[in-house]
Amino acid sequence: MECSQEFGKSVDFDISVDFGKSADLGKSGNTDFNCSQEFHRSQEFGRDRTLSTQGSSSEDDRDLDGGGRSPSSSRRPKVKTPASKRQQQQPTSINDLCPVTGFHSNILNDYYIFPAILGKGHYGCVRECMHRRTKQFYAVKSIEKAKIGRLDHLQREVYLLSKIDHKGIMKMVDIFEDVEFVHIITEKYVGGELFDKIIERTTDNGCFDEVSAATIVKSLLEAVAYLHRNGIVHRDIKPENILFVTEDDEDLSVKLIDFGLSRRHKKGDAYMSNPVGTAYYMSPELLKGKYDQSCDVWSTGIVAYILLCGYPPFNGDADPDIFDAIKQASFGFPSQAWGHISPEAKDFIKCLLRKDPKKRFTAEEALKHPWIRNLDYYYAQQQQSRNKSREELLNVMRNLKQASIHY
């Protein structure tokens, strides 16, 4: 992995980053096209429109392991402390200062943190960091605890990340907690947000081609299916929470990130009731306060729709207007952007955006839909074509060699 620009300069690796004085780096929103400009205006379908219940104490957000007890209680599951923590466990009073992990640790002992901010949210920011011993580069999400209404939500995020291991999901590497911050170290993905790619690619005639869109959606569905099999619901699936692994435009490998609104929920559990998430991606039953894991499949269907045309199926000038459109669950495929899209793609989206969650596809069922399964055939044909071209080239070279010998 390449060093950041700051690493090329003279750097004092003993200087601490001042986490409280971070420059705010905004995104430039491109609205030079006509496909539902309201959707793209000033990042309003971005993180700033995420609806969470940090100050809420609703029953459905109190359990971490299905037992109905608060993660902040004395019986909360312990987050496994990474090997980099060499400090002994502090006296019990340290739990008051470091309630998320139960340990006080200094991230700067093990990592150098670069000053430049890669991303910024309500509760903290993301920077590049480097492990001092291995010289490996990672990303660090530094969360200011004072800005979080309920630290048990943060503890739940950390706990779930420590349990998750899937190729399509962000991997947590390490965690540190001091009096003011929780620092979550993860693998670094340099390809940027899917959100930005959508903005970049959208025209009046659509956005991603079908093969690219299906490839991204398949990876996302595999991640969602994994979460649901393991009794986890994400609740905030959207393009901003999907990162490309590399900067190579041909590489469509993506990772699902940001588990701040995730929680334990298995099939058969009592319905969740807290209406959390981001307006454009919330399902009808979630808005009514009675929902289950299928809300993630709905959100994936919204992402698939946007990937193909560049705008959402349910839109409005403000959140209440968007919610009204979602509750009606009536959407179409305008001919300008959808005229060239296959019937299989449209059917796939319809299966994921069924208003009744009992009739909606599960993530596993969605992976078996022809629009997704046809990818295997497409890539097999592509590989055969490559092999054929390679064989033809070898034949040409053999013929040239024989002609040379004959001469």
Within 13-99, strands assigned E span: 50-51
For residues 196, 201, 204 and 210, what is the CA-based torsion angle, rounded to 10 degrees?
-110
Catalytic-residue membership of 236: yes
* Residue 326 near residue 282, CB atoms below 8 Å: yes
How far is CA 118 from each of CA 102, 114, 330, rounded to the nearest angstrom? 28, 10, 38
Rama region for 268: left / alpha / beta (φ>0; ψ in -120 to 50; rest): left
Nearest to 162 by CA among 262, 249, 237, 236: 262
Q: Give the H/E segment covering residue 215.
A: helix 210-229
Residue 218 sits at φ, ψ, to 5 deg, of: -60, -45
Q: What are phi and psi of 200, to 5 degrees?
A: -70, -35
Contact 371, 345 (CB under 8 A): yes
Length of the chain: 407
The one catalytic residue among 60, 236, 258, 292: 236
Scanning the structure block, which residue is given the tokens 């809420």? Answer: 56
| Token pair in block for residue 329 | 């669950």
Return the active site residues. 236
